[in-house]
């Protein structure tokens, strides 16, 4: 029964945390961490240890896949060099700096490197939740960095743990082979899973089966990559990025509508649950440290947190000057980021669920049968660092963004107007030909022409910023009246059901049609 109780408790914790965060105007992860720490006081939860497989195999693939599907591939290609440096070189430097700090605090080199690998990668989930207010380019770079850097960290972690327990030997060819397998093998698996996914989606007409394939894709990619000791993270990301490019022309509308209704809810629940579990795990780790170790661990949390921020800031500024010195092409100058924007990126290096899962993956024993040195210390420090980055940096980030006075990014709105205008104009041009091919009556053709021309006038007025334009006013009145009529129709259908003139089955069918129309109109109203 504890499993069901835990599910209900976590669900209630996510609900309460999100509600409190909205009422207080605080970033949800901050409140959810506090709620998780309070949940950890419950005796039944106190006896529960979170298996790392839950995060690595159950939660992480879903979150990474959705982040990949909703990331701008164009922005990734434009900023590929910076993303590659952040997700490889910065991770290695960060892990090394934390290892040196950990060793100076008394950890053996193996556990110190394991701690460094655990806290080195930034978290895509935390970045996606806490950095939404940033310009699109910065958000894309931060998300792409978070999607890829896990693979680098996991290779470093595997080496550190393997050397400590006596399974690995550190040689340059061996390390190079591990990185090549992690990235090359992960990318190859991702491409293969995406190819299978595409062929299945072409052949499946049932939306339920199509979206089942979509759900299986990230788990399959992660599992196959891990089976060959490649990066499961990179496999999921590559598969998701490929599907994001081919899905618009491959997947049917009913499949897409169902996916867009299901996946945001799923990722919302998983995100909230993970932040709660970080708070719970902090309680668990706290109970396994004596007072002396606790003082050392708290000191280590402060030191490691400072090291993470310092290394990130130093790398962001040093790499920028190095690139400017090497690459003086005009197009490179256009991609330059201001110092204030770089400070914002420095504060956005949040740690999250991946770091916790890596720390929990530290084995409990060595090959000799003895305990792994300072395992509880590593788990507690990692949990504490996650809390510090999410709470302290998460609360400071809005103020830093205001200080930076970053220019408002209107490119998405401008491109949306461009796409909508162009698509509507070309549709109007194609209308006579398509009507002839389909044998449409002139009256219906004229109705559609008038509707499309009214929509085009509205889009043009919105693009010109003419809030008081007559076309916008007519569109707003049209939308309001249609929504009012839908509400009246829905009330009539419910009354007919209550009077037993129609069955519940009929009610559900008509209600689904009315709901679709209402959602479409409501979305259109928000766009205006």
* Cα 186 to Cα 180: distance, rounded to the nearest angstrom: 9
Mean pLDDT of the 229-252 span = 88
Other residues' Cβ atoms within 10 Å of the Cβ of residue 12? 13
Q: State the pLDDT confidence band at 344, using cuts at 50, 70 and 90.
A: confident
Mean pLDDT of the 65-74 span = 84
Nearest of 517, 430, 443 to residue 479 by alpha carbon: 517
Mean pLDDT of the 49-58 span = 70
pLDDT at 251 over 90: no
Mean pLDDT of the 298-317 span = 93
pLDDT at 221 over 90: yes
Which tops the pLDDT comparison, 210 or 523?
210
pLDDT digits (tens, 9 = 90+) for 371-422: 888 888 888 899 889 888 888 888 888 888 888 887 777 777 788 888 888 9
pLDDT at 455: 84
* Cα 31 to Cα 240: distance, rounded to the nearest angstrom: 30
pLDDT at 166 over 70: no
Q: Would you say the C-alpha torsion 277, 280, 285, 288 has a positive or negative sign?
A: negative
pLDDT at 115: 93
Expressed in angstroms, the distance from the first to the final Cα of the chain is: 50
* Cα 160 to Cα 274: distance, rounded to the nearest angstrom: 25
Q: Tell me the three state secondary structure of residue 365.
A: strand
Query: For the whole model, what pTM was predicted?
Result: 0.81
CB-based contact 32:130 (threshold 8 Å): no
Structure tokens at 297: 């661990």
E strand intervals along 40-180: none
CB-based contact 52:375 (threshold 8 Å): no
Is the domain 51-274+293-380+402-409 a CATH 1.20.1530.20 member? yes
pLDDT at 132: 67
* Cα 457 to Cα 428: distance, rounded to the nearest angstrom: 12
CB-hemisphere CA count at 13 Å for 111? 23
What residues form DSSP beta bridges with 365? 371
Mean pLDDT of the 213-240 span = 91
Q: Tell me the three state secondary structure of residue 346.
A: helix
Domain ranges of the chain: 51-274+293-380+402-409, 412-527
Nearest of 153, 155, 161, 148 to residue 175 by alpha carbon: 155
Q: Tell me the three state secondary structure of residue 174.
A: helix
Q: Would you say the C-alpha torsion 503, 506, 508, 510 has a positive or negative sign?
A: negative
Q: Would you say the C-alpha torsion 266, 256, 128, 113 has a positive or negative sign?
A: positive
pLDDT at 338 over 90: no
pLDDT at 465: 67
Structure tokens at 451: 């509707």
pLDDT at 58: 79
| φ, ψ of residue 317 in degrees (nearest 5) | -80, -40
Which tops the pLDDT comparison, 61 or 173?
61
Q: In whole numbers, what is the pLDDT of the chain averaged over residues? A: 83
Q: State the pLDDT confidence band at 527, using cuts at 50, 70 and 90.
A: very low
Q: State the pLDDT confidence band at 352, using cuts at 50, 70 and 90.
A: confident
Mean pLDDT of the 46-58 span = 69
pLDDT at 86 over 70: yes
pLDDT at 528 over 50: no
């Amino acid at each position: 029964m504890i499993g069901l109780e835990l599910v209900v408790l976590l669900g209630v914790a996510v609900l309460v945390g999100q509600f409190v965060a909205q009422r207080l105007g605080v970033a949800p992860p901050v409140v959810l961490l506090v709620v998780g720490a309070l949940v950890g006081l419950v005796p039944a939860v106190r006896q529960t240890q979170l298996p790392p497989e839950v995060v690595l195999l159950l939660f992480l693939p879903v979150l990474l896949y959705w982040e990949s599907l909703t990331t701008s591939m164009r922005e990734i290609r434009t900023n590929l060099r910076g993303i590659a440096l952040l997700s490889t070189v910065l991770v290695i430097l960060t892990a090394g700096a934390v290892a040196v700090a950990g060793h100076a605090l008394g950890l053996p080199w193996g556990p110190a490197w394991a701690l460094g690998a655990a806290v080195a990668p930034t978290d895509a989930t935390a970045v996606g939740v806490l950095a939404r207010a940033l310009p699109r380019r910065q958000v894309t770079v931060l998300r792409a960095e978070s999607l890829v850097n896990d693979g680098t960290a996991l290779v470093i972690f595997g080496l550190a743990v393997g050397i400590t327990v006596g399974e690995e030997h550190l040689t340059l060819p061996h390390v190079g082979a591990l990185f090549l397998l992690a990235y090359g093998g992960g990318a190859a698996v991702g491409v293969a899973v995406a190819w299978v996914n595409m062929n299945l989606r072409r052949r499946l007409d049932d939306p339920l089966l199509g979206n089942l394939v979509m759900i299986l894709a990230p788990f399959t990619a992660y599992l196959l990559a891990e089976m060959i000791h490649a990066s499961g993270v990179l496999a999921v990301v590559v598969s998701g990025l490929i599907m994001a490019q081919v899905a618009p022309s491959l997947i049917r509308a009913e499949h897409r509508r169902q996916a867009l209704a299901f996946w945001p809810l799923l990722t919302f629940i998983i995100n909230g649950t993970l932040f709660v579990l970080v708070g719970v795990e902090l309680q668990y780790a706290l109970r396994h440290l004596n007072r002396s170790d606790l003082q050392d661990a708290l000191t280590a949390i402060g030191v490691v947190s400072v090291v993470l921020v310092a290394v990130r800031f130093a790398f962001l500024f040093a790499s920028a000057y190095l690139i400017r010195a090497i690459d003086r092409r005009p197009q490179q100058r256009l991609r330059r980021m201001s110092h204030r924007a770089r400070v914002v990126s420095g504060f956005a290096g949040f740690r999250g669920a991946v770091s916790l899962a890596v720390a929990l993956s530290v084995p409990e024993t060595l090959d000799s049968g003895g305990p792994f040195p300072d395992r509880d210390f590593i788990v507690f420090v990692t949990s504490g660092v996650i809390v510090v980055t999410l709470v302290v940096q998460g609360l400071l980030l809005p103020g830093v963004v205001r200080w930076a006075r970053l220019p408002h990014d209107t490119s998405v709105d401008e491109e949306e107007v461009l796409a909508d205008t162009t698509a509507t104009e070309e549709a109007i041009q194609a209308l006579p030909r398509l009507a002839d091919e389909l044998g449409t009556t002139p009256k219906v053709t004229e109705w559609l022409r008038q509707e499309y021309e009214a929509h085009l006038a509205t889009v043009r007025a919105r693009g010109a910023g003419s809030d008081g334009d007559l076309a916008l006013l007519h569109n707003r009145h049209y939308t309001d009246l249609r929504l009012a009529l839908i509400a009246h129709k829905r009330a009539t259908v419910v009354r007919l059901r209550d009077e037993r003139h129609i069955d519940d089955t009929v009610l559900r069918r008509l209600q689904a049609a009315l709901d679709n129309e209402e959602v479409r109109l409501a979305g259109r109203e928000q766009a205006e």
